[in-house]
Structure 1
Amino acid sequence: MKKVVIRTDASTEIGSGHVIRCLTIAHLLKKHDIDVYFMMQEVPGNLIDYVAKQGFRNITTLESADLYIIDHYNIDEGWEQKLRVYTKKIMVIDDLANRSHDCDLLLDQNVVPQFETRYEGLISAHSVRLLGPSYLIMRDEFIKARQNMPDRTGKVKKILVFMGGTDPTDETSKILRALQETTTKFETIHVVVGNGNVHKEYIQAICTERGFYYHCQIDYMADLMLQVDFSIGAGGSTTWERCYVGLPSSSTIVADNQRIATEYAAELGAVWNIGWHENITVATYIDLLNKLSEDTSFLKQMSVKGLQLTASKGQPNPWLHEILEMIK
């Protein structure tokens, strides 16, 4: 049986996105009878127990494997070169294009200016490059949801709030205040947090008090996205999940690594960029909420653009075929 080790991390500082997308990869590889292990550090906000509940063991020392998958902003070619005595192949998942890699395959699912060429000089000319949102890492629930999308009219009656698994800048609390102060009325409001959100008990209490639906560390995000008309979200990989199911949304930039992709997605009309989190106040979110009823055609076109940008090349998750070919 083939063996794959995934080196990634989650923490209160870096969030949970790396681990969550690697879990998607792990589950799909497992369906092909591949043994998958994670290698994660025990840092505050880690998801080691959550990954274990998903059926994957965490290892703490390097082991021999057919493939190492690295999804970590603090790892570059120096560590990757040391891996060569433990593995035949190395795959890197990156979003930044800011350091060199020693890898056989690189996956970057983001749309940014010159995304097809920005890894020139950073990886070997022989490395396979899977670049852009046609190579999105998508869970089965999103693939099914895309096949069952509602008609997006641009009218907003139901809202989803999800600012990432840890929400380190506590945007959710700002939004909850804005929802209390806005004069715009909504039929339904869903608020999602991750286990790593240090404010989750407070958020749950507010949701209970106001009759909002509260969700923590869920595995049915795609279903929620089908139920609502607009999402208030953060930049990062969830941006492309929203686009994938045609859900119009706003993005708050909560980390430097989200800035370029969020700004470019907004330029393309796929998302509403409301800016850097330090410049975003409760009043900003109130203004956003009040504008949702003003231009339904704008939101409807955002849905169409998101769907166009995230169309796969052939079958969904085409990167899976590349991995299987690499280690066969």
Structure 2
Amino acid sequence: MTEGAPTAAVPRSGDQLGRLTLRADATARSGTGHVMRCLAIAEAWQSAGGTATFVAAEIGDGLATLVRDRGFEVERIAAPPGSPADADLSAGHAASAAGWLALDGYHFDAAYKRRVGRAVPLLLIDDFAADGYEAARLVLNQTLHATPEAYPDAPPESLLLGPTYTVLRKEFRSFLDHVPPGSGPVVRLLVTLGGSDPDNAAGAVLCALLQLARITTLPAVTLIIGAMSPHADLVRSKAAELTASTGGLTVTVKTAVADMAAEIAAADLAVTAGGLTLQELAFLGVPAVVIRTAENQAKGVAAAERSGFVVDLGRFPGLTVDDLAAGLHELIADPDRRKAMSEAGRRVVDGHGAGRLVAALRP
């Protein structure tokens, strides 16, 4: 738990909070993270007694089905993403529901934010203090590097900053009493590189594992491919080749994972990208090596490394297979360091962010 953070439980079901409208997109290049983060917020709102609807201009059928299966409507915006027409339609959805609009995405510029902020109460989910944040009634920045100084034009009471406000999906909140891995051997390695992995970092990790398998005994590997990965068939083929060629290494490839929390909780070590999964790993106390798959992940990964629960291997593309193999080998061979990383992660993310956010949104 973050030192000095307030503790708050999700309010009891039955407290009627009204309707929350969540606006986010998912594409092969941007990934699924914005929609998945909004899904965590929607579940927290629903658990507290409210209702929620998603609106999207771009979202794959598989991801839309996942959101609907969690109990939420998904409505399509018939306008170019980030356009004035998109802003008006999104604000109109929220206005008709007489509730908040939650906005999550890097393609919503300052003009868009100001346009919707004039029309409806705006919860801006922000990672970088991008222009237009002052139009929001509340700003949620749950990254480890969030500071009030980055928002000089926002009232202090409007800022919900840092991992204290990390909102986890409901499957994670069932692990509040989870005991993380200790200092034993790595029995299971989890590889999860985002919802799209456009540059096929997963393929590079498999090559690194093949290299390591020649010099040491490796743990069982679970590799999760995102629903929007353009390289899924190639990764499956490479995983099958790796399993067949090493004789003892088992690589299991999974897609459309319904319970990501269970997959993480079962792991002793993870290879991940620099997105939202970092804080999910921290909560469950799973140490990780990070492959940065986008330039905008640098600040968050650096903050996570300073906090002690990840090791940053570098930017991909650019990171070599040798770099990956060396970084993995070092952590697999160092149980004391992994234990310290696990404990550091648990100190950073306590799992109560959902309740704190709902409390801030309550009428």
Q: Comparing both structures, which one devotes a greater share of its residues to helix? A: 2
Secondary structure of the structure 2 residue equivalent to 1:166: coil
Secondary structure of the structure 2 residue equivalent to 1:5: strand
Q: Which amino acid aligns with 2:239?
A: C
Q: Give yes or no for the alignment of 1:197 onto 2:229.
A: yes
Shift of 1:83: 2.1
Paired residues of 1:156 and 1:292 also in contact (CA < 8 A): no
Q: Which residue of structure 1 lines up, in the alignment, with residue 264 of structure 2?
A: 225
Shift of 1:263: 1.1
Shift of 1:160: 0.2
Shift of 1:315: 6.9
Q: Which residue of structure 1 lines up, in the alignment, with residue 273 of structure 2?
A: 234
Structure 1 counterpart of 2:112, from 58, 67, 79: 79
**Counterparts of 2:332 and 2:119, CA distance in 1:** 56
**Counterparts of 2:306 and 2:55, CA distance in 1:** 37
Q: Which residue of structure 2 lines up, in the alignment, with residue 321 of structure 1?
A: 359
Cα 1:293/1:79, change in 2 over 3 Å: closer
**Counterparts of 1:104 and 1:28, CA distance in 2:** 19
Q: Which residue of structure 2 lines up, in the alignment, with residue 117 of structure 1?
A: 149
Within a 5 Å distance, the mapping from 1:168-187 to structure 2 comes to: 168-182=198-212, 183-187=215-219
Cα 1:316/1:174, change in 2 over 3 Å: same
**Counterparts of 1:201 and 1:275, CA distance in 2:** 26
**Counterparts of 2:286 and 2:59, CA distance in 1:** 34
Cα 1:47/1:277, change in 2 over 3 Å: same
Structure 1 counterpart of 2:313, from 274, 277, 285: 274
Question: Which stretch shows the higher mean deviation, 238-247 or 140-149?
Answer: 140-149
Name the TM-score, length of structure 2 as normaliser. Answer: 0.81
Q: Which residue of structure 2 lines up, in the alignment, with residue 158 of structure 1?
A: 188
List runs of 5+ in structure 2 lacking aligned partners. Answer: 1-15, 78-88, 244-249
Shift of 1:232: 0.5
Q: Give yes or no for the alignment of 1:58 onto 2:79.
A: no
How big is the alpha-carbon RMSD for the aligned residues of Structure 1 and Structure 2?
Answer: 2.2
Shift of 1:153: 1.1
Shift of 1:188: 1.3
List runs of 5+ in structure 1 lacking aligned partners. Answer: none
Shift of 1:208: 4.0
Q: Which residue of structure 2 lines up, in the alignment, with residue 40 of structure 1?
A: 56
Secondary structure of the structure 1 residue equivalent to 2:218: coil
**Counterparts of 1:37 and 1:150, CA distance in 2:** 34
Larger RCO: 1 or 2 (CA < 8 Å, sep 6+): 2
Give aligned-pair identity as a percent: 24
Paired residues of 1:110 and 1:132 also in contact (CA < 8 A): yes
Paired residues of 1:116 and 1:132 also in contact (CA < 8 A): no
**Counterparts of 1:250 and 1:18, CA distance in 2:** 22
Q: Which residue of structure 2 lines up, in the alignment, with residue 70 of structure 1?
A: 103
**Counterparts of 1:175 and 1:315, CA distance in 2:** 32
Paired residues of 2:309 and 2:341 also in contact (CA < 8 A): yes
